[in-house]
């Protein structure tokens, strides 16, 4: 049964079974049609012989003759050359008057005329006797003769036919059909196997490509040009999967490179400062200064690791969002007050407009908006203003944080939310960030069932977080 696990074997077997079933049905209909044809032919033949017998019997009764032997000889002469035909005439008591049959044969089924009902008269009767098949029709012949002729009121006339020739012919046809069906089965299995092998070639190519796919070799794709239309959807899905895998591996490779770069700086700083401190004897104040410096580097490492764990949880759907109804104006005003000293140092103004209610996790949302606001303060020119716009409509709630500054190239906009990614201008201006703030902000917004987008032109850069309205948030607990 192991071979039946093969799709080619299953299709071949299925094709063969279907062809055998179709041909068996055709054979059954053919033999049935032959039986029906011979039965109708035999019925016409028997009725012709009955008509002959009734005609001769009427002539004899009209003359008042009682010479049944002469009638028997006359019927024998009339049936000469009609092999396999039998005629039998009896009186109402079943006494045989005329018995015409081929030489060397005897009248078959004589007793079948006894006790016939009116419904059986005129209908064809079939039976087997001595391994031979027979058909017969029995009719009643009324007598209309002169009074005193001595005839009974009617005679029973039966014509019978030996159907062995028909049976042998149909039997030979059936044997031929059996052998032909066996040949059809073998041919069908072979054709099914051949068609399956040819038709499943794209699937084998798919398997071949799958075997060659590795982390360093994701560029292979299946061509649709010569593939059957039924496999286009599967091939397109497979190619799309490879596209996603290639993109994911590429981003993972970049992420690995970025994380190595980001972790190398604080680790090297810790090692270098520690090595310098241990290179010679120093005072307690010098050691204390080195320890403080090492503490800052360790805190940066701890913050980076914590943020990476947060992102890992978000990607696996493990973030637990504690939903509560929040007034966004109040929450953002608290953040503005917190960042006011930093903004004041850079001579920046923060303007908040609008209000709305949102069902969400207060701590998470404060973290997300804090990242957006700190990012805006970091890249806003001195003396400019930062806008926070809260809007609400039928689609939900949106919070936009906009600041003037250098335009971000369109090619870099789609990568701003990648881990550790910074635009070139950002790298030139700031180095203390971990590069995970926007990634964390997007994860928090999406955990609330929303989306985060960015738009940048020569006038300003605007980050917009969109959320479902109150009562529409998903994933709240």
pTM score, whole prediction = 0.48
Q: How many residues in total does the chain contain? A: 477
Indicate the pLDDT class of residue 261, thresholds 50, 70 and 90. low
114 close to 191: Cβ distance less than 8 angstroms: no
Residue with tokens 């400062």: 273
Indicate the pLDDT class of residue 351, thresholds 50, 70 and 90. very high
pLDDT for residue 264 is more than 80: no
Cβ neighbours of residue 346 under 8 Å, at least 6 residues apart?
377, 380, 382
Residue with tokens 């999967």: 241
60 close to 181: Cβ distance less than 8 angstroms: no
Q: pLDDT tens, 180-236?
A: 888 888 888 888 788 777 777 777 776 776 677 676 677 777 777 766 677 778 778
Handedness of CA 108, 109, 110, 116 (dihedral sign): negative
pLDDT above 90 as % of the chain: 11
Q: pLDDT tens, 97-137?
A: 888 888 878 888 877 777 777 777 888 888 888 888 888 88
Angle 24-28-31 from CA coordinates, rounded to 5°: 135
326 close to 362: Cβ distance less than 8 angstroms: yes
Beta strand 349-353 pairing with 385-393: parallel
Q: For residues 338 and 141, what is the distance between their CA atoms, to the nearest angstrom?
A: 125
Indicate the pLDDT class of residue 474, thresholds 50, 70 and 90. very low
Q: For residues 398 and 450, what is the distance between their CA atoms, to the nearest angstrom?
A: 9
Average pLDDT for 69-90: 82
| Least confident window among 396-410, 421-435, 438-452 | 421-435
Domains of the chain: 2-172 (3.30.450.20), 229-315 (1.10.287), 324-467 (3.30.565.10)
Among 143, 159, 156, 121, smallest CA distance to 59 is for 143
Q: Which residues pair with 128 in a beta bridge?
A: 133
Angle 105-107-111 from CA coordinates, rounded to 5°: 150
What are the DSSP E strand ranges found in 298-447? 324-327, 349-353, 357-360, 385-393, 396-403
Q: pLDDT tens, 355-381?
A: 998 888 888 888 889 989 998 998 899
pLDDT for residue 316 is more than 70: no
Residue 45 phi, psi dihedral angles, 5° rounding:
-65, -45
Neighbour count for residue 33 (Cβ, 10 Å): 10
Give the pLDDT confidence score for residue 194 in this predicted structure: 81
23 close to 181: Cβ distance less than 8 angstroms: yes
């Amino acid at each position: 049964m192991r071979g039946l696990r093969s799709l080619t074997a299953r299709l071949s077997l299925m094709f063969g079974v279907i062809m055998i079933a179709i041909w068996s049905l055709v054979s059954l209909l053919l033999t049935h049609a032959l039986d029906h044809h011979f039965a109708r032919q035999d019925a016409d033949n028997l009725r012709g012989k009955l008509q002959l017998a009734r005609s001769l019997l009427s002539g004899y009764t009209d003359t008042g003759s009682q010479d049944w032997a002469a009638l028997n000889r006359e019927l024998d002469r009339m049936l000469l050359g009609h092999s396999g035909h039998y005629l039998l005439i009896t009186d109402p008591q079943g006494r045989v008057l005329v018995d015409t049959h081929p030489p060397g044969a005897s009248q078959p089924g004589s007793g079948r005329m006894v006790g016939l009902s009116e419904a059986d008269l005129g209908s064809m009767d079939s039976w087997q006797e001595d391994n031979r098949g027979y058909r017969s029709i029995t009719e009643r012949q009324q007598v209309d003769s002169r009074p005193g002729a001595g005839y009974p009121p009617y005679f029973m006339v039966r014509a019978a036919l030996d159907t062995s020739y028909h049976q042998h012919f149909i039997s030979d046809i059936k044997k031929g059909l059996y052998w032909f069906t066996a040949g059809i089965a073998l041919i069908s299995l072979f054709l099914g196997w051949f068609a399956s092998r040819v038709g499943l070639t794209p699937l084998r190519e798919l398997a071949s490509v799958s075997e060659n796919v590795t982390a360093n070799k994701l560029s292979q794709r299946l061509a649709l040009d010569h593939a059957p239309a039924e496999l286009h959807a599967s091939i397109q899905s497979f190619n799309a999967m490879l596209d996603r895998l290639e993109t994911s591996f590429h981003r993972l490779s970049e992420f690995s490179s970025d994380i190595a770069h980001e972790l190398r700086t604080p680790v090297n700083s810790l090692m270098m400062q520690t090595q310098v401190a241990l290179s010679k004897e120093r005072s307690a104040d010098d050691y204390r200064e080195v320890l403080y410096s090492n503490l800052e580097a360790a805190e940066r490492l701890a913050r980076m690791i914590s943020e990476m764990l947060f992102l890992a949880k978000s990607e696996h759907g493990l973030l637990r969002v504690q939903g509560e109804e929040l007034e966004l104006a109040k929450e953002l005003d608290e953040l503005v007050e917190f960042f006011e000293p930093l903004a004041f140092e850079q001579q920046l103004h923060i303007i908040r407009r609008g209000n709305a209610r949102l069902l969400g996790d207060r701590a998470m949302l404060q973290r997300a908006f804090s990242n957006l606001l700190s990012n805006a303060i970091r890249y806003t020119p001195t003396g400019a203003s930062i806008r926070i716009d809260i809007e609400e409509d039928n689609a939900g709630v949106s919070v936009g944080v906009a600041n003037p500054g250098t335009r971000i190239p369109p090619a870099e906009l789609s990568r701003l939310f990648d881990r550790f990614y910074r635009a070139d201008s950002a790298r030139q201006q700031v180095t203390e960030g971990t590069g995970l703030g926007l990634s964390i902000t997007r994860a928090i917004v999406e955990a609330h069932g929303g989306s985060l987008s960015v738009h940048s032109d020569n006038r300003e850069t605007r980050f917009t977080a969109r959320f479902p309205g109150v009562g529409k948030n998903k994933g709240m607990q």
